[in-house]
Structure 1
């Protein structure tokens, strides 16, 4: 599936430039990708489209109603609510098992670098949980992060892009 996602990222510069599922499936099949990988990737991309639509409220949309203490927000409110500076994300056991310490550390690094908003982090986690492989490797998570940026139309900073695309094993310590 990840090879298909990389192909889509490299060939369609923004999520809105990507063709519909049927046409994309034909293009991917013509490029030699296996039918099972194509189906899995297209299902994953459909989930990504839905998740990022909630991340970007439509222009002129009604304000999100306030959430009362003890109530869980629903729908777009769950993603678009601002996070307090004192807030802390607690990962469920399933998320910890699916992502692992290395991926969770990488997400924290992106947040600490102020290049990953809480709403985007939640979409990344949700898409990682929807990934067919368990646990998700760091390289796979980086592809997921790239795809979330791609789908939202946000161009990552050059240093972030370098971090996402660079193989850490090839680096030489100074």
Structure 2
């Protein structure tokens, strides 16, 4: 399923192709690309839920959240999916203002919905990018995340 999301993001969304694509056409294109129908439907559902998260005015997972800094406590299931490196990266993204509490929770929600056995830091970076792309007003955060994702080290590495 994650491969399909990556394919869609790189080939349709990120290339600024027409985003409003007929679902049947999209399914047919993904099938021609070699993806299975079950995985296609899971990926499309994942994207629909992402869109629903950013469209709602109510964010039940943020109810009662104060403006003072808080520590995010991960559930056991979240810890199994997001290792310490991923959790640290999410904290880093909040510290540099790429993510706020709302977008962090959107990222965690989408990560937990992925149907893949293995998940690592590089995968998390792509999920963050997909979430930020879909949230209006987060263009600067998206650009900053894109720089972090595609950044190549300059000079000698020690």
Q: Which residue of 2 aligns with 1:7?
A: 7
Please tell me whether the aligned partners of residues 129 and 145 of structure 2 are also in contact (alpha carbons under 8 angstroms): no
Alpha-carbon deviation of 1:172? Answer: 5.4
- Residue 43 of structure 1 aligns to a residue in which SS? helix
State how many pairs are aligned.
153
Q: Within the alignment, does 1:162 sit opposite 2:152 as a pair? A: no
Matches within 5 A, 1:23-42: 23-42=25-44
| Alignment-derived partner of residue 68 in structure 1 | none
Aligned partners of 2:69 and 2:59: how far apart in 1? 22
User: Pairwise CA RMSD of aligned residues?
Assistant: 2.9
Taking the aligned partners of 2:70 and 2:150, their CA distance within structure 1 comes to 30
Q: Indicate the residue corresponding to 2:55 in structure 1.
A: 53
C-alpha distance in 1 between matches for 2:23 and 2:64? 31
Say whether the 8 Å CA contact 2:129–2:142 is kept in structure 1: no
1:47-104 deviation digits (Å, cap 9, x = unpaired): 21222222xx3xxxxxxxxxxxxxxxxx534347664223221111111111111111
After superposition, what is the alpha-carbon deviation per residue over 1:7-64, rounded to whole angstroms, capped at 9, x for unaligned?
22222247x924243332122223333333312211211221222222xx3xxxxxxx
Structure 1 residue runs of 5 or longer lacking an equivalent are 58-74
Structure 2 residue aligned with 1:149: 132
Higher RCO (C-alpha under 8 Å, 6+ residues apart) = 1
Cα distance in 1 for partners of 2:146, 2:63 equals 24
Unaligned runs of 5+ in 2: none
> How far, CA to CA, are the matches of 2:37 and 2:152 in structure 1?
28
Question: Could you tell me the TM-score, scaled by structure 1's length?
Answer: 0.72
Contact kept in structure 1, 2:78 and 2:112, CA below 8 Å: yes
The offset of 1:109, in angstroms, is 1.0
| TM-score (structure 2 length as normaliser) | 0.79
Q: Does 1:115 align with 2:95?
A: no
| Structure 1 contact 83–118 (Cα < 8 Å) conserved | no
Query: Which residue of the other structure, out of 138, 144, 149, is the alignment partner of 2:121?
Result: 138
